[in-house]
Structure 1
Amino acid sequence: MKNVTVAAVVLALIATPALAQGRRGGGGQDKQTEKKPQIDEKAYKSALDRIPEPKEKYDPWGMTKPADPTKKPK
């Protein structure tokens, strides 16, 4: 009988941390109540249209490797 009691106590002590890990508390917000910002397609397109076009094409290697071998890098 003593062995059964000791085994029950050991199982209870082992199961307690596992039970605590399995519980999900109400500490966070639900995904259903979380509001996402509305995307306004019209405003997005108008913002893209306001970006000016570059006058010259940007060359990331222009400083290190000129396109024309006779030209010196800046």
Structure 2
Amino acid sequence: MRILVIAAALLALACGSAQAQGRRQPSDGGAKPADNTPKVDEKAYKAALERIPEPKEKYDPWGGARPSEPAKKPK
């Protein structure tokens, strides 16, 4: 009897989560959502990119993991 109660409880929990995935928000009758995204100013974007200075050295993402110069092998 105990096994039957545990199995029923597990089944109820599994069905509850599956049912929650199928729920949808009520629609607003076809109203389109407002466009709240900011507009991109292309001139300002290009001007900002031009103000970024060029790096003097090439960036090495593995610089901390390995030495920058290879070790010389003794002969």
TM-score (norm 1): 0.45
**Which fold has the larger relative contact order, with Cα–Cα distance below 8 Å and residues 6 or more apart in sequence?**
1
TM-score (norm 2): 0.45
The higher radius of gyration belongs to 1
